[in-house]
């Protein structure tokens, strides 16, 4: 396992990187850049996922441990979640929104409604009509303007973003599912048009 930062620094300063086993003297795996033009964008790929659903628990009591209760309950039921957003609500309440695989939506709604009294939320809002578009690469958050370029590409084709998730290696946005294809094309063109 390589730390993201080690790969980024090796790439930036043109250092050869090889992953070796500490148990044998066998040759390892050399990590190197194949396409030189990618360094300018810091983005190595664009992806879309239309098998995504979003659930919002609205009107949760705003007290410590509520996120733990929700996500440990889902983990016990072997449900994977992806993007999680907590927002400040009104009058000592908050909302927690998260994404999951579309196939798990009905099961998760049932689980949460079964535990409504313990979780103390007002209601659930579920949405299957969403898609996720992501850019992936190394050092995205340490390079200014990458996120802005993605958001500009979506704006240029009139696509509204409903949620954003960022990490050192990925930026994902949730959008209307029926606009996933045009979003993917716009973001791809913004980063890769003219690189051939």
**pLDDT 10s digits, 14-42:** 787 777 777 777 777 776 665 544 445 57
Which H or E element spans position 116?
helix 116-119
Kindly report the pTM of this predicted structure: 0.73
Write down the pLDDT at residue 150: 94
- 62/107: higher pLDDT: 107
pLDDT in tens, 44-85: 889 999 999 999 999 998 889 999 999 999 999 999 999 999
pLDDT over 80 (residue 195): no
Three-class DSSP labels, 137-196 = CCCHHHCCCHHHHHHHHHHHCCCCCCEEEECCCEEEEEEEHHHHHHHHHHHHHHHHCCCC
Task: Give the pLDDT of residue 38.
Answer: 43
Q: What is the pLDDT of residue 99?
A: 95
Decide: helix, strand or coil at residue 1. coil
Q: Are 132 and 52 in contact (CB under 8 A)?
A: yes
pLDDT of 128 above 70 = yes
DSSP element (H, E) containing 76: helix 66-76
Which tens digit of pLDDT belongs to each residue from 152-188? 999 999 999 999 998 888 999 999 999 999 999 999 9
Q: Is the pLDDT of residue 11 over 80?
A: no
| pLDDT score, position 1 | 54
């Amino acid at each position: 396992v390589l730390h993201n930062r080690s790969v980024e620094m090796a790439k930036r300063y043109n250092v050869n990187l090889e992953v070796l086993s500490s148990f044998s003297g066998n040759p390892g795996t050399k990590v190197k850049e194949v396409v030189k033009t990618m360094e300018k964008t810091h983005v190595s790929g664009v992806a879309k996922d239309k098998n995504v659903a979003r659930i919002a628990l609205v009107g949760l009591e705003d007290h410590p441990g509520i996120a733990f209760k929700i996500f440990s309950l889902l983990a016990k039921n072997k449900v994977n979640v992806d993007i999680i957003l907590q927002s400040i609500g009104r009058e000592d309440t908050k909302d927690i929104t998260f994404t999951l695989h579309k196939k798990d939506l009905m099961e998760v709604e049932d689980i949460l409604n079964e535990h409504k009294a313990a979780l103390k939320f007002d209601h659930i809002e579920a949405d299957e009509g969403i898609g996720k578009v992501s850019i992936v690469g190394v050092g995205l958050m340490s390079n200014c303007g990458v996120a802005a370029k993605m958001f500009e590409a979506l704006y240029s084709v009139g696509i509204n973003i409903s949620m954003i998730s960022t990490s050192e290696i990925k930026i994902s946005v949730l959008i209307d599912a029926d606009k996933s294809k045009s979003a993917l094309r716009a973001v791809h063109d913004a980063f890769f048009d003219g690189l051939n």
